A and B are shown apart, each in its own frame.
Chain A
């Protein structure tokens, strides 16, 4: 080591003593990160709660406290009930589709074959491309006139041009498109998480099971699956949280339309709070996300903790 001891004769300053006490130094090193996060995540979170209980708007920034009236207003509005329902359909539809695709994809990629590295790099593209940019590409794929899907269906003689679906203009089709894009974005993540879990299962455990006479399905569902559940749980937390709170896909693909069919919580909060300037109602809408997020996170964390024992 090239570090040479300093001569002891030098008087030890107060600052140096401070930096030599382990607990003090540790707190000093963590403090900037914690302060940043408290000021720009913790404080805004509290502010959001307060806005939702006030009459704050961009035009009238008063802090008058009105209790739960904003929440009551919102729930009276049938459009919002639709939005709430949409959020759940969007989240669980795309997670389910993404998981199914992820499971099959991981199953294929588990086996070594020539070119696996390149195949993997291509398959993870949806997850590594910024979602806003990918959504714009999808919008072009679903274009009312130039959709390549419609072109193919017509060219194959399955459809007449007159019957070609207007993907983003029909309510249920638009919802389907939003779900497909989100599932498309997350299935590579599911594949990679799944693979990471499986490769972490010690080979001798699998071998022991094989020697003991466990068949393919038994190995899969009674040994590998329980062992990778914690990591799958974490993958699912991220999938659900990021989907449930996303607005970019809806904003760029459908603008919540047609007639509110794809409006989700985050998008409604943005429309009301930012575009209309009704901060109080917008905050109340956004806060509907909070209980679901808390439940998901707490449930998953407990699950992981229990698994570790």
Chain B
């Protein structure tokens, strides 16, 4: 009897612990959702219970975003930047990852670690000189500056990720192609690339989400509203002086965050595997 009691007490403590973590992690997100759909009169009445709708939910804030702000434009900018950066990253990182994986001796690994370490060089150390370089190129205050700069962190990360993938791909497949008359380069193009489609898809997802998340470079290089990315636009343009449009802010943040959150969640294990490299074997 005593044992049964202790056991169920343990069970209870376990689920309470789980509940605590879920609330801790998801509450701000819940707050975004609920604020985004509340009437202003409901939002700004301190006597109302804030945890639930006291008046009917509304789509007013979302309507306002698309009609009165440049929200749609920011979405479009982010999409264009994401597509361009992904293209640049694929063209450079796929060959690099492949070559690093196939290099003899430890040269490939050392070079790979060196490239990966540049992922750790923070934007906050580079934005000053980069802003000068961008001004020299005549790209200041333009979203194209971000297309130029974002590959500095997507290329190192993706090369490293792909290097791990290509290492796991048996060399014999390419050797067979070479025996059949393919050149070395041909074996890479015709054999290795088609087999690496899943890895390439992962790289596309990560590149895209990394560009959507980025804030520091966008803040430093872009100041006119029509050139902003979604993350920058929502966080800086919806605040007028000291007035915060909380409903619109949360609606905008929600729309920008949900796709990133879903994509990341699905690929999180690959991301962790990429970051930790060979540490998990």
Contact = CB atoms under 8 A, between A and B. Distances in A.
Interface of A: 1, 3-6, 16, 19-20, 22, 25-27, 29-30, 32-34, 36-37, 40-45, 47-48, 51, 101, 104-105, 108, 111, 113, 119, 121-141, 143, 145-146, 148, 151, 184, 187-188, 192-193, 196-197, 200, 230-231, 234-235, 237-238, 241-242, 244-248, 251-252, 265-266, 269-270, 273-274, 279, 282-283, 286-287, 289-290, 293, 297, 301, 304
B44 A146 contact: yes
B256 interface: yes
Contacts of A290: 125
A200 B124 CA distance: 35
Given A196-B276, A231-B280, A297-B120, A130 B231 contact: yes
A132 B280 contact: no
Interface residues on B, range: 35 or more
B199 interface: no
B120 to A, nearest CB: 5
B50 A289 contact: no
Contacts of B129: 43-45, 47-48, 51, 283
B144 interface: no
B249 interface: yes
Interface of B: 14, 17-18, 21-22, 24-26, 28-29, 31-32, 35, 43-44, 46, 50-51, 88, 91-93, 95-96, 98-100, 102-103, 111, 113, 115, 117-118, 120-133, 148-149, 151-152, 155-156, 159, 176-177, 180-186, 188, 190, 212-213, 215-216, 219-220, 231-232, 234-235, 244, 246, 249-250, 253, 256-257, 260-261, 264-265, 268-269, 272-273, 275-277, 279-281
A5 B181 contact: yes
Contact of B184 (A19, A34, A247): A19
A301 B190 CA distance: 36
